[in-house]
Structure 1
Amino acid sequence: MQRIHRIIDTIQHELWPLPILGIAIGLLLGLGLPALDAALPEARGLVSSGVFGGSPEAARAILTTITGSVVTVTTLTFSMTIVLLQLASTQYTPRLLRTFTGDTVVHVTLAVFLGTFAYSLAVLRTVRSSTADHDAFVPAISVSFAFVLAIAVVVLLVVFLTHITRNIRLETILADVAAEGRSALARAYRNSRPGLPPIPDHPAEPIPSSGTGFVGHVETEALAGLAAERGWVISFEITPGDFVTTNQTLARVRNTASPHHLTADDVGLLVSRVNAAVIVGRERTTVQDPRFPIQQIVDIYNRALSPGVNDSTTALHCLNYLGSLLGAIAGSDVRHALECDDGGTVRVFMPRPTFTELASLILHDAVAFGRDQVAIVDKSFAMLREASLCDTSRRYTAEIEALVDDLAAMVPLGDFSPRDAEQLRFSIDAARRAAVSAAGHPHLIADFRS
């Protein structure tokens, strides 16, 4: 299942898989439909009388026009996509590029455009004029289908233009990233367990990394089978989203049945298998990293409050969506991930970001960069109050109370007017009261996750 998620993520966030598939389908149709035309002369004649009945020269002209036009439209689409990526990178954050390259509409549009181009070229080669050796051949069915594809290209161009103008809006970007964040949270904490597992205090063998880059994915399920077979416990010291370097310790392995060190052969096997399970890449992904979508929104927030921009409205929009993620986190069991064998013995331990780490990532910059603005500070403590209401199981009462105290210490109440300072004191006290209160609103969890 973990590997399937990784493959799906790769297909979704690379620009080439669907366009390549479109070209392949276009070529297959361009070879198959003319053969069907040749095999069904009666159907070809029916199409010729009702849809396309032109000469070979007319068929060539139509196919040539379609081919040239589609190339032009495809070039325009690529250009607009590149401009969109550049705009998102400079205006919001470079870490949003992955979100835009994963846009399904862009992938489908490019696939249809390039598939139509490949199809038209393939059909064009089958059109024959009458010669001394051959009769004229006009694949009427194939040419008619090319006409249908040309109409589809025009419709998709309009859809693409509408879609791209909507997607460049800040509200759409934040909604998409927040939705991806909720999905990342569900994947990251799917097999979490409360507390730390009991691990024997036996000698641990460090397993070094063989690569450098961001940890995008760790296939713990595959390692759990090996650990159960050999009687090992694999305790990772990294988590998806971390940056690792060559020879950095990825994990430590203990033999649960023996206090002795692992043999050299066992260590060699573990180095190979653990490095194969830890997928390292050039960029972060959201497959198992719940911090990355949060960091994307925080980056937009920080840029909005930078001295050169100073856009508090954009910052508040970011806090709205960060608040929705904080509510989802508070309503979840945010614990470390474990893989157990059939007997319930822990075989793989994977540390995950704790509630405090995720909440601090969301709120620290909000208060640090916006502490001189009443609306920003007030919203930050309102987010903690809402998170307390979502924490219906009261798992994070102490953590939320500590966060309220830490963030309150960062707010210079003396720099505000008496009225604003009083409002902020009320917000801070309300967040603190909500943290220690036993009352919660279960319906808020569904609201945040919707």
Structure 2
Amino acid sequence: MGNPGHFAAQAPGPVPVRARPRPLSPLREHLRDTFWFTPGLGLVGAVVLAALALDFDAWLIAWLRTEGDYDTIGTLITLADDAKSIITAVGSAMLTFIGVVFSISLVALQMASGQFSPRVVRLYVRSRITKATFAVFLATFLFALLVQTAYEANTDPRTVTTVPFASAVLCVLMVLVSLALFVAYVNSTLRLMRVSHVIDRVIRESFRVLDKHGAAEPEPPALPAARAEVAHTGRAGVLRDVHIARLVRVARRHGVVLRLIPRIGDYVVPGTPVLAVHGGAAPPRRALRYTVSVGVERTFHQDLGFGLRQLSDIAQRALSPAVNDPTTAVQCLDRIVQFLAALAHRPLGALHHRDRRGRVRLVQDLPGWTDLVDLGLTEIRGCATGSPQVTRRLVAGLDDLWHLAPEERREPLERHRALLTEAVTRRVPEGADRAFALEPDRQGIG
């Protein structure tokens, strides 16, 4: 099995190549995690738009003068003068709107970090509607200032060189767009300040990650012996992404199989082995550049367990004595059970990425069924013994998953059920209260 050619001969025939997740661009992720890029584009766009609009106004006046239509020029001057007060008001009002938007954003971020979990702050930072609102407000403010500088003291239709009529109309339209975005921004922020919408957003992102990943093979092919390992040489950080297509190409060119040693979401430091090479010598390090991406925090991009991590954190924060909100914990359990139910019959474990000829070239380890059940339920179970609403929902969720899961996957569910019963027995001395706390109820107490 150590011969690469022998391993390739034993591989199955050509199979359809599954669409792989698009590689994570560190630059793209950096720009999405910052607030300056989109507003900066808005400011540049405002300068360009103002230049084009003012050039059009100058061309329009020059054309009307060549046509001898001085009456129309006088009408445009009158209309532009009437709009000047509006443009002046827009310039000052936009600063106020920008301050309001910034204040709302800070309150939302503070509330999300303190009441939900620091992990969900990422949802607010990456909000497209927030960035678009900032960008349009700043662009409207700058556009209004540039239009004001185009006004001339000369109002004689025969000698005036430009009349900012089209620019003024465009400025009013930008104000209307700004107002519409402000309403949409407030609505979006208020939704994200409600924990139910945050939980829903997290689970939707989790299912999106699940859809990107292929299912593991029920009977994975055997791998040749590992011949070498490739160590991480970049900066320390969380493994956020691997460039699957590039690793498959590198493995195919060198006739080997690469196996990713850490999982997505693991913290790696320089010198940590990240790739095991099966069936041959390690490819040159030059060929493996830009195949592994690390960062300061986990992302949803390829991380199957990150959604469960966030839901567990929100539930634990809700069950803390400082917050004492068991209903939020029940809502988190609803979505955790929903996600685990979707995985009940799905093959889990290692993904085997193949080249165009159907030969395995990259093996990527994913969390197994037991890992995901423990991630979603262990810490909530430890915090829930004093809240019958949560224990009843947890028992109902375990019962539902037990009926949905195949027999070979029921052991971790039975273990959690037994540990929950023991914990409630120790915590609740009264038999009637104990029986009430362990009665299954999908609403908690309902």
State the secondary structure of the residue aligned to 2:258. strand
1:299 deviates by 0.8
Matches within 5 A, 1:157-196: 157-187=182-212, 189-190=213-214, 192-196=216-220
1:357 deviates by 0.8
Q: Evaluate the alpha carbon distance shift between residue 365 and residue 230 of structure 1 in structure 2; reply closer, same or farther with a 3 A threshold.
A: same
Q: Does residue 1:418 correspond to 2:443, yes or no?
A: no
Q: Name the residue aligned to 1:408.
A: 418
Match of 1:24 among 19, 44, 47: 44
Corresponding residue pairs, total: 412
Deviation digits for residues 40-73 of structure 1, max 9, x if unmatched? 3479986985897133xx6554433322221221
Q: Name the residue aligned to 1:112.
A: 136
Deviation digits for residues 354-379 of structure 1, max 9, x if unmatched? 12111111111121111233332222
Would the aligned equivalents of 1:330 and 1:388 in 2 still touch at CA under 8 Å?
A: no
Q: Name the residue aligned to 1:448.
A: none
Q: Evaluate the alpha carbon distance shift between residue 156 and residue 400 of structure 1 in structure 2; reply closer, same or farther with a 3 A threshold.
A: same
Paired AA for residue 81 in structure 1: S
Matches within 5 A, 1:147-166: 147-166=172-191
Paired AA for residue 317 in structure 2: R
Q: Name the residue aligned to 2:80.
A: 54
Q: Name the residue aligned to 1:138.
A: 163
Would the aligned equivalents of 1:335 and 1:352 in 2 still touch at CA under 8 Å?
A: yes
Q: Evaluate the alpha carbon distance shift between residue 62 and residue 274 of structure 1 in structure 2; reply closer, same or farther with a 3 A threshold.
A: same
Matches within 5 A, 1:50-449: 53-55=79-81, 61-130=85-154, 135=160, 137-187=162-212, 189-190=213-214, 192-254=216-278, 256=279, 262=281, 269-270=284-285, 272-274=286-288, 276-391=290-405, 394=406, 397-412=407-422, 413-414=424-425, 415=428, 417-422=430-435, 427=440
Q: Evaluate the alpha carbon distance shift between residue 425 and residue 2 of structure 1 in structure 2; reply closer, same or farther with a 3 A threshold.
A: closer
TM-score, normalization by structure 1: 0.82
Would the aligned equivalents of 2:57 and 2:162 in 1 still touch at CA under 8 Å?
A: no
Would the aligned equivalents of 1:384 and 1:400 in 2 still touch at CA under 8 Å?
A: no
Distance in 2, Cα, partners of 1:237 & 1:4: 18
1:96 deviates by 1.0
Would the aligned equivalents of 2:370 and 2:412 in 1 still touch at CA under 8 Å?
A: no
Q: Evaluate the alpha carbon distance shift between residue 330 and residue 24 of structure 1 in structure 2; reply closer, same or farther with a 3 A threshold.
A: farther
5+ residue gaps, structure 1: 429-450
Would the aligned equivalents of 2:402 and 2:410 in 1 still touch at CA under 8 Å?
A: yes
Paired AA for residue 370 in structure 1: A
The one of the two structures with greater contact order (alpha-carbon pairs below 8 A, sep at least 6) is 2
1:328 deviates by 2.2
Match of 2:35 among 15, 22, 41: 15
Q: Name the residue aligned to 1:34.
A: 54
Would the aligned equivalents of 2:43 and 2:135 in 1 still touch at CA under 8 Å?
A: yes
Paired AA for residue 147 in structure 1: V
1:348 deviates by 0.9
Q: Evaluate the alpha carbon distance shift between residue 237 and residue 2 of structure 1 in structure 2; reply closer, same or farther with a 3 A threshold.
A: same
TM-score, normalization by structure 2: 0.83
5+ residue gaps, structure 2: 1-19, 442-446
Distance in 2, Cα, partners of 1:52 & 1:191: 69
1:308 deviates by 2.3
Distance in 1, Cα, partners of 2:93 & 2:253: 61
Distance in 2, Cα, partners of 1:28 & 1:417: 74
Would the aligned equivalents of 2:238 and 2:296 in 1 still touch at CA under 8 Å?
A: yes
Q: Evaluate the alpha carbon distance shift between residue 196 and residue 423 of structure 1 in structure 2; reply closer, same or farther with a 3 A threshold.
A: farther
1:423 deviates by 5.6
1:318 deviates by 1.6
Q: Evaluate the alpha carbon distance shift between residue 203 and residue 166 of structure 1 in structure 2; reply closer, same or farther with a 3 A threshold.
A: closer
Deviation digits for residues 283-340 of structure 1, max 9, x if unmatched? 1110001211211111111111112222212211221122222222225333322221
Q: Which moved more, 1:5-14 or 1:163-172?
A: 5-14
Would the aligned equivalents of 2:91 and 2:145 in 1 still touch at CA under 8 Å?
A: yes
Paired AA for residue 326 in structure 2: S
Q: Evaluate the alpha carbon distance shift between residue 131 and residue 347 of structure 1 in structure 2; reply closer, same or farther with a 3 A threshold.
A: same
Distance in 1, Cα, partners of 2:257 & 2:33: 34
Q: Percent identity?
A: 25
